[in-house]
């Protein structure tokens, strides 16, 4: 065994250059250390990175990027790796720039309702660190105990409570970005809303790490609502549950959360860590939460109960206390993971449909399950039509992974054909790059890849993500054409 200093067992000159920037201890390069970085939460595709480098400052990010740019080595920024579409997964050979050590809160300004954090700051920690003062951060992905704000910006993450309050892009006031040139730019400085010029803040948010690396994030924080109340409603028919969703919104109520779970999903969560005792023979339940001024909440709850009863609800109840409310939510938030209790493997999909097409789309998804002989559970943010079919499969059965992937793609096609979209909050990444053609024409994809080329001209930053690859339009553009043209 050697001491570490000066004894690095690598002949990779790029690794040595990265060590010169960040220090030897901050670069992983051995195969056994790299295996953990072969994929993110989307485990169907894996690629071996060339190295992992831990950065601790914006300046270091800039220097690392300049170095990799010069060496023409592709690279990917990675947070906690909880993403569900392979956005932080290497195709093979990329350097992973890990942001997890940039995890400080830099500034908290409750008077102007904002906080400035580094990208490795964990989502849930933000709410935890301000809740005693009566504030919280709204976007709440189910992975919020682990996922980072930087990753949330890359994926424009949502969560159960995004119906009323909006997804990440609605809560980002400013970003500091290292561009693929190594330049550091600030957009949405000081968190003043609606800056003049082009909306680069919106453009960068949700760009899945293909336009720049986020090194600082200014987020909105919200005042805790004065009160909240939560309703659980059991339905014998999916159609009734769906109609209740539409009727609640039509009544002018915007609940903080409006979630649905079907029978297969209920079987999963009732077999996992936080069983509630949901009846096993219902078609679906709705979990509905209303927040705001206390005086207004009771009226809204009354109206929601009435709507449920008008739609043949079997049973409907209001959480008696905070403990019951917390249990209901723990049960719901376990949803994806709970599939592990009833299936060796599962694939989460993430389609969006107009609320009014819900019964029809769920019926088609059931048919897809039959066609591929796979069970499909459905958990979703019903209020905004964001559907998560969970396709249950067993990777040890030959061909079953492939069948699951095909079934997933067909579910997305059904959503797209219903006037919807192929992703609500999980991003495109590697997983759904081909499916972008379900909703975009060649011209529309070219309009986007042309923008990528402005920021990321060598396509070294997170290559192969977000758009169908290899894109001929990129080839055409590289040949020197400058106007936006349809791909020939």
Taking CB under 8 A as the rule, does residue 47 contact its own copies?
A: no
Question: Minimum CB separation from its own copies for residue 421, in Å?
Answer: 4
- Which of 165, 162, 174, 159 is CA-nearest to residue 112? 174
Q: Indicate the Cα dihedral angle 100, 104, 109, 110, nearest 10°.
A: 70
Task: Print the binding letters for residues 94-133 with its own copies: x by CB under 8 A, - otherwise.
Answer: -----------------xxx--------------------
Q: Which CB atom, from 129 or from 356, has the smaller least distance to its own copies? A: 356
Q: Got the DSSP string for 258-284?
A: EEEEEHHHHHHHHTSSS-----TT-SE
Distances (CA, A) of 370 to 391, 394, 403: 12, 16, 12
The mark string for 378-417 relative to its own copies (x by CB under 8 A, - otherwise) is ------xx--------------------------------
Any contact of residue 306 with its own copies (CB under 8 A)? no
**Contact between 292 and its own copies (CB under 8 A)?**
yes
Query: Distance between CA 142 and CA 236 in Å, rounded?
Result: 27
Contact range with its own copies by CB under 8 A, out of 16-24, 121-129, 181-189, 387-395? 181-189
**Contact residue for its own copies among 70, 419, 470, 475 (CB under 8 A):** 419
| Residue placing its CB nearer to its own copies in the complex, 89 or 421 | 421
Whole-number minimum distance, CB 273 to its own copies, in Å? 30
Candidates 9-17, 40-48, 51-59, 178-186; binding stretch for its own copies (CB under 8 A): 178-186
Q: Which of 197, 203, 157 is nearest to 177 (CA)?
A: 203
Closest approach, Cβ 220 to its own copies, in A, equals: 12
Q: Which residues does 161 contact at the CB level (< 8 Å), separation at least 6?
A: 138, 139, 140, 256, 257, 289
**Residue 255 near its own copies by CB under 8 A:** no
Applying CB under 8 A, the span of 23-31, 98-106, 267-275, 352-360 interacting with its own copies comes to 352-360
- Assess 224 for contact with its own copies (CB under 8 A): yes
Residue from the set 30, 70, 133, 223 that interacts with its own copies by CB under 8 A: 223
78 touches 96 (CB < 8 A): yes
First to last CA, the chain: 58
**In terms of CB distance, is 19 or 231 closer to its own copies?**
231
- Least distance (Å) between residue 234 CB and its own copies: 25
What single string gives the DSSP state of each residue in 238-253? HHHHHHHHHHHHHTT-
Considering only 261, 392, 452, 473, the residue that binds its own copies (CB under 8 A) is 452
Between the alpha carbon of residue 128 and those of residues 5, 65, 138, 144, the distances in Å are 39, 33, 12, 11
Interatomic CA distance for residues 103 and 120, integer angstroms = 4
DSSP symbols for 321-354: SHHHHHHHHHHHHTHHHHGGGT-SEEEE--EE--
Query: Is 1 or 454 the residue whose CB approaches its own copies more closely?
Result: 454
What part of residues 421-450 is at the interface with its own copies (CB under 8 A)? 421-425, 427-428, 432, 436, 439-441, 443-445, 447-448, 450
Q: Which residue reads 């992937």 in tokens? A: 405
Q: How many whole angstroms separate alpha carbon 187 and alpha carbon 183?
A: 13
Interacting span for its own copies (CB under 8 A) from 2-10, 41-49, 365-373, 452-460: 452-460
Span 65-84, contacts to its own copies by CB under 8 A:
none
């Amino acid at each position: 065994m050697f001491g570490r200093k000066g004894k690095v067992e690598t002949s990779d000159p790029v690794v040595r250059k990265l060590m010169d920037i960040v220090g030897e201890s901050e670069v992983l390069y051995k195969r056994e250390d790299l295996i953990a970085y072969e994929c993110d939460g989307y485990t169907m595709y894996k690629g071996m990175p060339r190295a992992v480098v831990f950065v601790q400052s914006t300046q270091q990010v800039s220097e690392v990027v300049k170095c990799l740019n010069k060496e023409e080595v592709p690279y990917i920024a990675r947070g906690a790796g909880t993403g569900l579409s392979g956005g932080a997964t290497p195709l093979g050979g990329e350097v992973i720039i890990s942001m997890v050590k940039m995890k400080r809160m830099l500034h908290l300004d409750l008077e102007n309702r904002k906080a400035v954090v580094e990208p490795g700051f964990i989502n849930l920690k933000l709410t935890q660190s301000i809740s005693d003062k009566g504030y919280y951060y709204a976007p709440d992905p189910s992975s919020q105990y682990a996922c980072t704000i930087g990753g949330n910006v890359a994926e424009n993450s949502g969560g159960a409570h995004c119906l009323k309050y909006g997804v990440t892009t609605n809560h980002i006031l400013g970003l500091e970005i290292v561009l693929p040139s190594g330049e550091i730019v600030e957009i949405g400085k000081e968190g003043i809303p609606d800056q003049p010029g082009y909306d680069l803040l919106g453009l960068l948010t949700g760009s899945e790490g293909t336009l720049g690396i986020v090194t600082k994030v200014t987020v909105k924080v919200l005042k805790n609502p004065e009160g909240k109340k939560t309703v659980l409603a059991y339905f014998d028919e999916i159609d009734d549950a769906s109609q209740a969703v539409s009727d609640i919104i039509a009544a002018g109520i915007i609940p903080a959360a409006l979630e649905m779970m079907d029978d297969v999903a209920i079987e999963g969560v009732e077999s996992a860590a936080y069983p509630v005792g949901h009846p096993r023979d219902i078609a679906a339940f709705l979990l509905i939460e209303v927040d705001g001024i206390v005086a207004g909440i009771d009226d809204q709850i009354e109206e929601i109960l009435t709507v449920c009863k008008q739609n043949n609800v079997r049973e409907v109840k209001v959480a008696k206390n905070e403990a019951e409310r917390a249990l209901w939510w723990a049960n719901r938030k376990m949803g994806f993971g709970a599939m592990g209790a009833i299936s060796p493997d599962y694939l989460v999909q993430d389609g969006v449909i107009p609320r009014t097409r819900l019964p029809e789309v769920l019926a088609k998804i059931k048919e897809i399950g039959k066609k591929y002989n796979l069970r499909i559970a459905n958990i979703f943010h019903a209020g905004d039509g964001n559907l998560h079919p969970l396709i249950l499969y067993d990777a040890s059965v030959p061909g079953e992974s492939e069948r699951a992937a095909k079934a997933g793609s067909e579910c997305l096609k059904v959503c797209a054909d219903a006037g919807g979209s192929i992703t609500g909050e999980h991003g495109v990444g590697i997983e759904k790059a081909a499916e972008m053609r379900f909703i975009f024409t060649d011209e529309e994809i070219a309009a986007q890849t042309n923008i990528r080329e402005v920021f990321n001209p060598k396509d070294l930053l997170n290559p192969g993500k977000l758009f169908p690859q290899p894109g001929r339009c990129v080839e055409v553009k590289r040949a020197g054409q400058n106007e936006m043209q349809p791909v020939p």
